[in-house]
């Protein structure tokens, strides 16, 4: 894979790791696992178009996600390539962890995905069942389970491969409630039960503080003391400082392990100022 032209001659990841470690800050590489491109296939799918996730009508761009392109989680060669790439990162950089984002199928509230020729053949070969033609088909649930298993297998295989190199932390950005399982084949409760993750970052992306509260209560009940979890709030869609402070203080009220924000480039001076004067007015312990 090529390097972005604006970074040629400079290794930003090495720079970040060096400067962060001087300050006792961990660096976890953010990996957009099965996401390949926005409005275009991206470098991986341009080289390997047969690795693309395909919907039930044979389309590749995900209309429900503004024409994003995804790699098919069922494609074993694609999974092998991704795992080898991430392991190479761990071998070459002094990372403290890997954070798995887009560790899922495309959003399927409108159109189901997982219908590449490879995926359909693998489903029939694995289960002995015919590929379902629609959601009323008797094999529909079995096909969804098959897709869940492809993502879970990737998480398992990646963890095993990475820990052979270095005992770093593996985490994932996931959707709260049943949304991840039902609409994205992302069975993160199983990943926790199987010990594939060291901590979880549920994406509580909503402008509704009451909905965020509901999600937190569900997560506390679901996860309990099994692993740490750090809810993520959506600075990308909350430009108002008072609302972000309200949701931040809600998380603090529950005395959780921590929290995260998506993302740095969506912060403005107002957000920084409100957080510094409000919930983060005390300096962090190091």
The token pair at 50 is 């047969």
Residue 176, burial from CB neighbour count under 10 angstroms (0-12, 13-18, 19+) = buried
Range list of β-strands (E), the chain? 28-32, 35-38, 68-70, 97-101, 169-174, 199-202, 232-234, 260-262
Q: What is the pLDDT of residue 229?
A: 96
pLDDT value at residue 172 = 99
As a whole-number percent, the residues of the chain with pLDDT over 70 amount to 99
How far, in Å, CA of 178 to CA of 176, rounded? 7
Environment class of 209 (CB within 10 Å of its CB; exposed 0-12, middle 13-18, buried 19+): middle
CB 96 within 8 Å of CB 169: yes
100-128 mean pLDDT: 97
- Per domain, the residue ranges of the chain are 5-30+73-116+132-202
pLDDT, position 285:
55
Does residue 16 surpass a pLDDT of 70? yes
Other CB atoms within 10 Å distance of the CB of residue 81: 17
Q: Is the pTM of this model over 0.85?
A: yes
63: which residues sit within 8 A by CB, 6+ positions away? Answer: 110, 111
Tell me the average pLDDT of the chain: 95
| Total number of residues shown for the chain | 286
Structure confidence at residue 270 as a pLDDT band (50, 70, 90):
confident
pLDDT in tens, 88-98: 999 999 999 99
CATH topology of domain 5-30+73-116+132-202: TIM Barrel (3.20.20)
pLDDT digits (tens, 9 = 90+) for 197-251: 999 999 999 999 999 999 999 999 999 999 999 999 999 888 888 999 999 999 9
pLDDT category of residue 186 using cuts at 50, 70 and 90: very high
Average pLDDT over residues 130-134: 96
């Amino acid at each position: 894979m090529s390097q972005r032209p604006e970074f040629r001659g400079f290794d930003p990841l090495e720079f970040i790791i060096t400067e962060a470690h001087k300050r006792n800050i961990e660096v976890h590489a953010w990996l957009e696992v099965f996401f390949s491109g926005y409005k275009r296939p991206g470098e991986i799918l341009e080289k390997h178009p047969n690795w693309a996730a395909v919907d039930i009508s044979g389309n590749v761009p995900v209309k429900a996600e503004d024409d994003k392109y995804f790699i098919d989680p069922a494609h074993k060669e694609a999974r092998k390539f991704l795992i080898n790439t991430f392991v190479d990162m761990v071998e070459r950089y002094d990372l403290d962890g890997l954070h798995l984002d887009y560790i899922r199928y495309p959003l399927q509230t409108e159109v189901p995905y997982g219908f590449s020729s490879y995926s359909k053949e693998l489903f029939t070969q694995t289960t002995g069942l015919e590929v379902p033609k629609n959601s009323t088909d008797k094999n529909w649930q079995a096909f969804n389970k098959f897709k869940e298993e492809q993502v879970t297998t990737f998480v398992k295989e990646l963890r095993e491969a990475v820990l052979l190199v270095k005992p770093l932390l593996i985490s994932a950005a996931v959707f709260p409630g049943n949304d991840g399982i039902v609409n994205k084949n992302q069975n993160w409760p199983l990943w926790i039960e199987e010990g594939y993750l060291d901590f979880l970052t549920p994406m509580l992306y909503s402008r509704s503080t009451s909905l965020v509260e509901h999600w937190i209560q569900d997560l506390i009940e679901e996860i309990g003391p099994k692993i740490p979890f750090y809810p993520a709030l959506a600075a990308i869609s909350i430009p108002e400082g008072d609302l972000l402070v309200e949701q931040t203080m809600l998380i603090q009220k529950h005395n959780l392990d921590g929290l995260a924000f998506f993302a740095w480039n969506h912060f403005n001076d107002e957000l920084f100022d409100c957080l510094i004067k409000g919930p983060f007015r005390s300096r962090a312990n190091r």
